[in-house]
Amino acid sequence: MVDLSFIIGGPQGGGVESAGQIALKAFVVKGYNVLGTREYHSNIMGAHSYYHVRVRDGPARALKIPVDLVVAIDAESVLTHISDVGKGGYLVYDLDSVDVDATKIASMEPSLRSRLRRFFADMNMKPTVGSAVKVLEERGGRTVGLPLKDMLKKVSDTLGTPIASIAKTVNVIGLTAGLYTQGVSLQHIVKAVEAQFGRRPKILAPNITAARVAFEFMEQNIGNIPELPDGPHRGRVRMIASGNEVVAMAKVVGGLTFETFYPITPASDEAFYIEENKYVELGELSEKLELDKIPIAVLQTEDEIAAINMAIGAAAAGARAATSTSGPGFSLMNEAISMAVEMEIPVVITLWMRAGPSTGIATRTGQQDLLHAIFSGHGDTPKILIASGDHVEAFYDAIKAFNWAEEFQTPVVHLLDKYIASTITVLDEWDLDPHKVSISRGLRIENPPEDYRRYEVTDNGISPFAPLGSAPMLFSSLEHDEHGFASEDPVDREAMVEKRLRKFETIARSIPEEEKIALHGDPSARVTIVSFGSTKQAILSAMEELEREGVRVKFLQLRILSPFPSKAVMDAVGDPGLLISVEANAIGQLALLLRAYTGIEVKHFIQKLNARPLYDVEVVYGVKRILGEGARRVVVSGGA
């Protein structure tokens, strides 16, 4: 069984992300499943960032620490990740950095500097790279010091170009050396480098030379390492994509015609990828429209308020419209979301959560916006909220969100987070089959009668939808009568409140139970983990480990959180033995919802609050502490 984890660290802007992607590609080409995520500061250049990868022959569900290999492109990376190297693991570092002292690294967080100073002072050592290497070796780690300056010179001599022009290849040099320790062949590394830079020949050539120089160095200095065998997933075309990209893809094939955004991490990459693909060939639809390429209107707006309001306008005109944002932008959208409920507008808001409150940590993950999203908007403003647990769910959910928005003429929040946004995974053709969900637009009439009533009161609360421009009509954000004329009449008012309420009940009835929750594991297990969103795969991975250790756990994953699926949840929980809520927020937001809607009280929590992704080992640890010591709240703190 192959189960390999590694970290590639370096300064932001130093090619860490490219190196990570090359590594992922090398292992995918080799026939493995991969998962990789980027952890980075809110900074353009210089701050520490790292790529964290897991490689498995089975499903690569979650990230893992400690790792088998740390490739440290700079001194800060050695010192930051020294305790992430597992038993017998490798550290690849720059020999020229051994004298660098943590206290002299300007980009390092001051708190980490102090922790390192204390850590090394306890051993009467200076907080230098050299000390870190020594400590690691004493603990049984294996270290490979690279003479990076000499190696760069060799690359430059081979190509006959100045060192400055190829200095950026340090990432590929470090990565190649690291991959060598794991038995990846030069051929696979070269193939991955080609896949990364193939379209940019000027960058490709020096990087391939860099890979060769590094591989040669390792052969001469480390000696033979048995080659990693081929993985089971060979001989087919696969896809490597981030969560941002998968959602963008779903929107494009799922009928998006209008997308607005205001730049915000970690949502922007989704909009960028849609923009990149706003004019593409869409199979049979292109034939039908006699257009080689089909246009999607994508617009960067002046703020998130404009983004949501513009999407609302487009939706009222009949477009399949969406906007995407993160917590701060979603806060600005609140008033318009309330309007979309009152005006009964089909609009999708893709909400990529990050660590708050306020600007918080803009580039790190969290699950703190669940309650905010469900209860966004003033007035009684019920809306649909669906939370995706991984890339595959995110793909289908994005299409379903559109369908529901249009069928029920309501805002739909598609809830994701930074971890899914920037995590890259490998997908097969059958993972993203858009024919698994239909595309439905609800009760839409193109030629409404002259006396069309936009808010016709119906039994199920749904009025036929006619787009603006098809008849004289009124969409109104004021309370209104059936025609949409503003009305403060008490009878009209009550009728409209009741109509919207009935619509929400129709929504609750119409969405199939199996789409509202997912129950994983043995339904008769006495221990139930409840969670939502991107914790899914870490929990599933932890369950595999717990099962090996004889701990039976089931996992109730909430998929639709509004309307809250009370009955499905109560049925799934059954006799509540021991309930554990796993959440990346401090107040236990999911547990609060459970209490409010089902009366079930969750008494045990595993919480991740440091804005880093949840690791499977942390779930295992948390469950054991709760079962063993009856701990009420276990805060897990992995990640650099």
Partner 1 sequence: MRVLGGWWLAVVRRWADYKTEAWVQWCPGCGDFGILAAIHRALAELDIDPRRLVVVGGIGCSSRSVYYVRGSNVHVIHGRSIPVASGVKLANPELEVVVVGGDGDILGIGGGHFTALGRRNIDLTILLFDNSVYGLTKGQAGPTLPVGVKTKALPYPNVQDRVNPLILAYASGYTFIARGYAYHVNQLKDLIKAAIEHRGSAFIDILQPCPTYNDTMTREWYEERIYYLNEEDPLWDPRIRGPEDHVKIPRIVEKMLEFGDRIPLGILYQDLTKTTLEDRFEQQMPGYRKAPPALRPISVNGRAPVHPFKVFKDKLIET
Query: Which residue in this structure is represented by tokens 């990087």?
Result: 207
User: Minimum distance between the CB of residue 113 and partner 1, rounded to whole angstroms?
Assistant: 39
Which member of 143, 185, 470, 566 binds partner 1 (CB under 8 A)? 470
Which member of 47, 98, 205, 282 binds partner 1 (CB under 8 A)? 282
Residue number, 195 or 495, with CB nearest to partner 1: 195
In angstroms, rounded to a whole number, what is the distance separating the alpha carbons of residues 208 and 12?
22
In angstroms, rounded to a whole number, what is the distance separating the alpha carbons of residues 203 and 292?
32
249 contacts partner 1 (rule: CB under 8 A)? yes
Which member of 260, 268, 368, 581 binds partner 1 (CB under 8 A)? 260
In angstroms, rounded to a whole number, what is the distance separating the alpha carbons of residues 241 and 247?
10
Which member of 62, 177, 311, 611 binds partner 1 (CB under 8 A)? 311
SS3 (DSSP) at 519: strand
In angstroms, rounded to a whole number, what is the distance separating the alpha carbons of residues 374 and 512?
20
Opening angle at CA 64, ends 61 and 68, nearest 5 = 120
Which member of 51, 90, 258, 504 binds partner 1 (CB under 8 A)? 258
Residue number, 335 or 545, with CB nearest to partner 1: 335
User: Minimum distance between the CB of residue 303 and partner 1, rounded to whole angstroms?
Assistant: 6
Residue number, 192 or 561, with CB nearest to partner 1: 192
523 contacts partner 1 (rule: CB under 8 A)? no
Residue 297 φ then ψ, to 5°:
-80, 120
Beta bridge partners of 636: 608
319 contacts partner 1 (rule: CB under 8 A)? yes
In angstroms, rounded to a whole number, what is the distance separating the alpha carbons of residues 41 and 12?
8
| Contact between 631 and 602 (Cβ < 8 Å) | no
User: Minimum distance between the CB of residue 307 and partner 1, rounded to whole angstroms?
Assistant: 8
In angstroms, rounded to a whole number, what is the distance separating the alpha carbons of residues 124 and 548?
41
159 contacts partner 1 (rule: CB under 8 A)? no
445 contacts partner 1 (rule: CB under 8 A)? no
Residue number, 287 or 522, with CB nearest to partner 1: 287
**Amino acid at position 133, single letter:** V
User: Minimum distance between the CB of residue 104 and partner 1, rounded to whole angstroms?
Assistant: 41
- Nearest to residue 564, comparing CAs of 382, 434, 426? 382
In angstroms, rounded to a whole number, what is the distance separating the alpha carbons of residues 466 and 317?
9
User: Minimum distance between the CB of residue 394 and partner 1, rounded to whole angstroms?
Assistant: 12
DSSP 611: S
Interaction pattern, residues 350-389, with partner 1; x per rule: CB under 8 A? ----------------------------------------
- Whether the bond into 147 is cis, omega within 30 of 0: no
In angstroms, rounded to a whole number, what is the distance separating the alpha carbons of residues 274 and 244?
10
404 contacts partner 1 (rule: CB under 8 A)? no
User: Minimum distance between the CB of residue 29 and partner 1, rounded to whole angstroms?
Assistant: 6
In angstroms, rounded to a whole number, what is the distance separating the alpha carbons of residues 169 and 38?
19
Edge to edge, what strands does the sheet with 517-520 contain? 517-520, 553-558, 527-532, 578-583, 604-608, 633-636
Question: Please, is 44 exposed, middle or buried when counting C-beta atoms within 10 Å of its C-beta (0-12, 13-18, 19+)?
Answer: exposed
Which member of 285, 501, 586, 587 binds partner 1 (CB under 8 A)? 285
145 contacts partner 1 (rule: CB under 8 A)? no
- Of the listed pieces 122-130, 264-272, 484-492, 554-562, which binds partner 1 according to CB under 8 A? 484-492
Residues touching partner 1, count (CB under 8 A): 96
In angstroms, rounded to a whole number, what is the distance separating the alpha carbons of residues 206 and 529?
50
- Of the listed pieces 299-307, 546-554, 602-610, 625-633, which binds partner 1 according to CB under 8 A? 299-307
User: Minimum distance between the CB of residue 244 and partner 1, rounded to whole angstroms?
Assistant: 12
Which member of 47, 135, 371, 468 binds partner 1 (CB under 8 A)? 468
| Contact between 583 and 590 (Cβ < 8 Å) | yes
274 contacts partner 1 (rule: CB under 8 A)? no
Which member of 303, 380, 456, 601 binds partner 1 (CB under 8 A)? 303
User: 29 to 68, contacts with partner 1 by CB under 8 A?
Assistant: 29-31
User: 607 to 636, contacts with partner 1 by CB under 8 A?
Assistant: none
- Of the listed pieces 86-94, 113-121, 257-265, 552-560, which binds partner 1 according to CB under 8 A? 257-265
- Nearest to residue 546, comparing CAs of 589, 606, 594, 593? 606
User: Minimum distance between the CB of residue 56 and partner 1, rounded to whole angstroms?
Assistant: 15
**Amino acid at position 498, single letter:** E
Q: Which structure tokens are listed for 189? A: 């590394």
| Contact between 80 and 31 (Cβ < 8 Å) | no
Which member of 98, 125, 205, 239 binds partner 1 (CB under 8 A)? 239
In angstroms, rounded to a whole number, what is the distance separating the alpha carbons of residues 39 and 296?
31
486 contacts partner 1 (rule: CB under 8 A)? yes
- Of the listed pieces 140-148, 248-256, 357-365, 577-585, which binds partner 1 according to CB under 8 A? 248-256
474 contacts partner 1 (rule: CB under 8 A)? yes
User: Minimum distance between the CB of residue 201 and partner 1, rounded to whole angstroms?
Assistant: 16
Residue 32 φ then ψ, to 5°:
-110, 160
Q: Which structure tokens are listed for 400? A: 């379903």
511 contacts partner 1 (rule: CB under 8 A)? no
- Of the listed pieces 381-389, 435-443, 512-520, 627-635, which binds partner 1 according to CB under 8 A? 435-443
DSSP 600: P
User: 209 to 238, contacts with partner 1 by CB under 8 A?
Assistant: 233-238
End-to-end Cα distance, the chain: 27
Q: Which structure tokens are listed for 391? A: 């890339």
User: 414 to 433, contacts with partner 1 by CB under 8 A?
Assistant: 429, 432-433
| Contact between 210 and 176 (Cβ < 8 Å) | yes
DSSP 223: -
User: 160 to 199, contacts with partner 1 by CB under 8 A?
Assistant: 195
Distance of CA 78 to the CA centre of its chain: 26
23 contacts partner 1 (rule: CB under 8 A)? no
Residue number, 310 or 636, with CB nearest to partner 1: 310
- Of the listed pieces 84-92, 300-308, 455-463, 545-553, which binds partner 1 according to CB under 8 A? 300-308
- Of the listed pieces 2-10, 153-161, 438-446, 593-601, which binds partner 1 according to CB under 8 A? 438-446
112 contacts partner 1 (rule: CB under 8 A)? no
User: Minimum distance between the CB of residue 637 and partner 1, rounded to whole angstroms?
Assistant: 34
